[in-house]
Each structure stands twice: as C-alpha cells, then as structure tokens.
Structure 1
Amino acid sequence: MALRPLENALPMAPLERPKKQARLAPPTTMKKQKTDVVVVNDENQAPPLPHPSSGDAAIDYIPSDNLSALPDPLLKIQSLMDGLESKDWTVICESLNTARRIVLFHSDLMTPMLERVVLILVKAMKNPRSALCKTSIMASSDIFKAYGDKLLLDETQSDAFSQMLLQLLLKASQDKKFVCEEADRALNSMVASLTPLPLLHKLRAYVTHSNLRVRAKAAVSISACISKMGLETMKEFGLAKLISMAADLLSDKLPEAREAARSTVISLYRASMEQVEEKQEAWQKFCQESLPPKHVQSIIKLVASHQSCLY
C-alpha cells in the first residue's frame, strides 16, 4: 500500500489551552466567614445568659420603720462624709442609709454637719441614676422627721432646706413613677413634721412656678398646711393672701392644682366663718374686699356647692 504524502494528511486538532484554576479564598477569610454565622433559635443550645444589670437591683430601699440604731455611731460618723462624697454611687447609697440611721437615732451627732448632708442630698436628687435619687429622697423624709422646724430656724440650714424643697417638688413632678411616689411621701412627711406657718412661707413661692406640675405639687402641700392651721395662724399669714392664692389656682391647667385650691378655700371658710352668725353675707363681703371681681363669684359658688358638708 502506497504511503500518503505528509502534506495530504488530515489536520491535527488544535491543542486546548489549560483552564484557569479557581482561586481559593485565603484561609483567614474562610475562618472569618464561619465565625460570622449566627445560629438562631437552636433548640439544642442553651439560651445566652442575660447581661448583669448596672446595679440598681442591688440597692436596698429600707423603710424608716425597719432602720435600727448603730452600735458604733461615733465611729460611723467619722467616715460618713467620705462615703457621701465618694465617686462610686453604690457607696453613696450605703452612706445615705447610714446617715438615715444616724439622723433617726443619733440626731445630735449629725447636727453640726446637717447643712452639708442636706446639700449632698440635693446633689444626689439631681443625679440621673434613679436608685441614688430615690435613696436620697428617703433620707430627706427622715431628716424632716428628726429635725422638724430646726431646718428653718438656722439661716444657712434654711437655704439648704429651700434647695431640697425645690428638688422634691421637681422629683414629685417627673415621670419615673417610683421616684415620683417617693417624693410625694417625702413632701407629706415634711408637712406632717414642720409647723405650718413657716413652711407655708416657703411653699408660697412655688405656686407661680413656670412648671405647671411643680405648681400643682406646691398647691397640694399648701392645702395640707392650711388644713392644719387655726384661724389665728391664718390671720398671721393673711386671710386675704390665702384666698387670693387659692383663687388664682382655681383656674390652673392641672386638675391636681384646682382640687388643692378648692380644699384650701373650704378650709379657709370653715376657720373664718365658724363663729359668725350670718355666714353667707360675711363670706360674700370678705370675698368682695379681698379679691378682684373676676374671682368673687367663682369662690362664692364653690362654697355654696359645699354647704351641705361644711359643718
């Protein structure tokens, strides 16, 4: 068989170029991808433990009745100010509870530093941490019970008291319920512990406060003060000033302030008209002499609507 010439041979198939291999991701990248995977709702794994809270739950809010005398008050009071001025809020809370025990059971030891302690309470009430704020408010209640009118007799302590009063009115006006309720209790303790007349002079400034809630809380405390006063004490403050203050609050925006004003008017009527024969005529004359015309009828109508339960 004859050989075929090379030039007449079938063309050879072209050689295929090698395919590019897919580049593998670096090991570190793969590892990162694995660690980024989050397993959701895996019933075979225990749920993660909750993060510990900031510490508010660790604070004990001890009622005054559960406090006891200190076995070593002289030793405790020597280090009290260091604790109250600490940078650690939990230490301040502990020191406030110690201060409460000293105030209630060893008040004479606290007297020389009372002004400083009250100013520390004021600072603590301004603190945004609710636990510290509430503990300081509880301490203020105990100070009212232990010292009463002494808080107003000394001029420097009287200024510290004014600052504390403002903070209590502000805290009683805020939205944090457990702080608000504690401040209300402190204001009630204040009214119960202090003589009405000097306290009324302090409270009077706040019925014109720009914060309507502060006005309402002040009105409630004023009403409670007046309910404890006899006619002579009312006269000492000024009957016309009392009825004028109540008349202004009757048109306040908050129901709490208006209700306190109504209670004030009724207390004033009872005390001033108790020994008067012609009560209606005498009351109308008193209102006309003490109030601008726009308030006279509203006060007269208010008393008339309560006639059946006045005496």
Structure 2
Amino acid sequence: MALRSLDNAIPISPERPKKQAKVAVSIPKLSDPSVNDENRLPSAPIADAIIDYISSENLKPISDPESNIQSLIDGFDSKDWTKFCELLNNARRFALYHPSILHPNLEKVVMILVKAIKNPRSALCKTSLMAASDIFKAFGDNLLEFTDSDAFNQLLLQLLLKASQDKRFVCEEADRALHAMVGSMKPLPLLHKLQSYAGHSNLRVRAKAAISISYCVFKMGLEGMNEFGLVPLLRMVVDSLNDRLPEAREAARCVVLLVHKAFMESEDKEQESWESFCHSNLAPIHAQAIVKLISSQ
C-alpha cells in the first residue's frame, strides 16, 4: 500500500528571486505592535538582514565542539535575532556532528526551538523548523526519553500549527519536520503523543495529525498495532473518514486498511469475522462505514 509522502517541493516565495539562496527580510522595530510580545526574540537594528537557509548536507562540523557548546547555549540570550538564526544553525551542526556534546542540553534546546517557532518572523521560524528536523534525525527517541514530556508536547503542537498555516514556505518546512519526526522515532510512543490531536478543533491541525498517525501505523507492523490495540486505532481515525479535508480522509482510510490487514493476519479472525469485530466494538454508523470501506476495496 502506498502512503503519500509528506515531502513537497521547496517553495519559492514571490518576494525572492527564484535562484537566490538568500532572502532579504525587513526587521521590525522592537515596539512594532505586530510582534507578539510573549514570543518576541529581541530585535536587531532597523535594516535588511540576509538569512542563509543552509541545507543539512552543507553544514560543517564545529571546530573544538567541547569548548564551544557553552557559548552556543549562552548565545541564545542574544538580543540580535539574526545572530539567533546563526546560533540555530550551529545547534544543527552540533546535532548532526556532535550529538553527545549537545545531548545534556537537549531539553533546553527543545524549549528554545518552541519559542523560535512561535516567533512571527518567518525567517526565524523557518530556521528553527530546519533545526527541529535535524534534531529529530540526530536524537530520535531520545527526545521522548530525555526531555520533559511537556517540552516535547509543545514542540509537536507548534509543528502541527505551523504545518497548518497559509504561509507556504513555513508550512512546507514544518511538514518536513513532521516527516523527520515520524521517520526517526519509534511509532508506538509517538502515536500516543499524536492521539490527542486526532480530534483537534482546527481541521488543518487534525489533518496534519492524521497524516502523521497514518505513517506511524504504517511503521508499526502487526505486533505494534496489536500492542496499541486494533480497536483504539479504529476509534482514533473513524471520525476522520468523513472529515472536510481530503488528506484527513485519505490518511484515515489508510489506517483502516492497515488495521484490517492486521486483523486478517491475527488469530482473532478464526474466532470472529471482520464485520462482527467492527459491530461489536464501534458505534453502528462507524462500523457500517468501515465495513463498507473494506468491502469496496
């Protein structure tokens, strides 16, 4: 079964020349009322700043990383947000090449990312999303094991929110971060984190969560799905079968098909039919929808 990739083509903003690697960003005054005070990272002098969006493969190791780790962490108190972007790129370099040195500061870095992702400056937001992707790839499940649960929850929420917004180049960077998250972490504990967003009031957040959920289930296999529970999996996505957004409906259908496959490969099919299983564990309207979906395949 083919699941649609979360990756999209890298967008080209209409404000930037198509082949230019750097983006000119106007820095608002500190007193600019359009800047959210709660999330504000201190502003630089009024000027156009050049921000480099450096791909992971073009990042280089840190020279003498043991001596530079503390200056990285202390530097995040900077009042210059362009320097903040440089520090985020350095954090990416630590994550990719020196993860054991960055590891003791992992929780603090996650909270720094949360604050930066929430910032209204698109350049800063995108740079922090790129950092999130590299940190997922470098640390994977350690983000759940060695960071505060609330810190990870806040990061996950911000990724879902940014992936759901209208600003395309930020949205697609958040999609890439979500893809890196699902690809680098064990599906079962991550699925427990994603579960609470399956019924989110924001239909776009709901859809993004459904896509990540479908990838988790796809990675789990029969043993993992049985450990989580086939019935909880169906209940998690059944409402999304009739969601307003097609990507949410498609993701929910993928999960149902995977659960059906797991059921047919389990010993339960010898004792109970799929139709009986659905009707005994789901509301009648939901059971009928799932039975109809499977019979139409």
TM bucket, shorter chain: 0.7 to 0.9
Q: Taking structure 1 as the reference length, what is the TM-score of the superposition? A: 0.77
Match of 1:240 in 2: 231
Listed one character per residue, the Cα deviations across residues 132-163 of structure 1 (whole Å, up to 9, x for unaligned) are: 00000010111111111111123x43321111
Match of 2:222 in 1: 231
- Cα drift, residue 128 of structure 1: 0.5
Q: Say if 2:50 is the partner of 1:78.
A: no
Partners of 2:139 and 2:195 in 1: CA distance: 22
Question: Partner letter of residue 264 of structure 1?
Answer: V
**Which of 121, 129, 132 matches 1:129?**
121
Match of 1:54 in 2: 26
Q: Say if 2:246 is the partner of 1:255.
A: yes
Listed one character per residue, the Cα deviations across residues 274-303 of structure 1 (whole Å, up to 9, x for unaligned) are: 357979x72111111111001111111111
Larger RCO (CA within 8 A; separation ≥ 6): 2
| Structure 2: gaps spanning 5 or more residues | 1-23, 28-47
Q: Say if 2:36 is the partner of 1:64.
A: no
Q: Say if 2:78 is the partner of 1:116.
A: no
**Which of 267, 280, 283 matches 1:292?**
283
Match of 1:103 in 2: 95
Secondary structure class of the residue paired with 2:60? coil
The number of aligned residues is: 253
Listed one character per residue, the Cα deviations across residues 205-260 of structure 1 (whole Å, up to 9, x for unaligned) are: 11121211111100000000001112221121111111111211112221111111
Equivalences for residues 1-311 of structure 1 within 5 A: 53-54=25-26, 58-154=50-146, 156-274=147-265, 282-306=273-297
Partners of 1:193 and 1:265 in 2: CA distance: 23
Partners of 1:146 and 1:83 in 2: CA distance: 22
Percent sequence identity over matched residues? 63
Partners of 1:270 and 1:77 in 2: CA distance: 48
Partners of 2:269 and 2:103 in 1: CA distance: 51
The answer to whether the Cα contact below 8 Å between 1:247 and 1:261 also exists between their aligned partners in 2 is: yes
Partners of 1:262 and 1:287 in 2: CA distance: 15
Partners of 2:198 and 2:25 in 1: CA distance: 40
Secondary structure class of the residue paired with 1:59? strand
Partners of 1:277 and 1:113 in 2: CA distance: 47
Runs of 4+ in 1 over 4 A off after TM superposition: 275-279
Partners of 1:157 and 1:69 in 2: CA distance: 28
| Structure 1: gaps spanning 5 or more residues | 1-51, 307-311
From the CA coordinates, give the structure whose radius of gyration is larger. Answer: 1
- Cα drift, residue 196 of structure 1: 0.3
Partners of 1:53 and 1:207 in 2: CA distance: 36
Listed one character per residue, the Cα deviations across residues 82-115 of structure 1 (whole Å, up to 9, x for unaligned) are: 3222121100000000000001111111111111
Partners of 2:153 and 2:99 in 1: CA distance: 21
Moved more, 71-80 or 185-194: 71-80
Question: Partner letter of residue 141 of structure 2?
Answer: D
Question: Partner letter of residue 275 of structure 2?
Answer: Q
The answer to whether the Cα contact below 8 Å between 1:243 and 1:290 also exists between their aligned partners in 2 is: no
Match of 1:39 in 2: none
* CA gap 1:95/1:278 in 2 versus in 1, 3 angstroms: closer
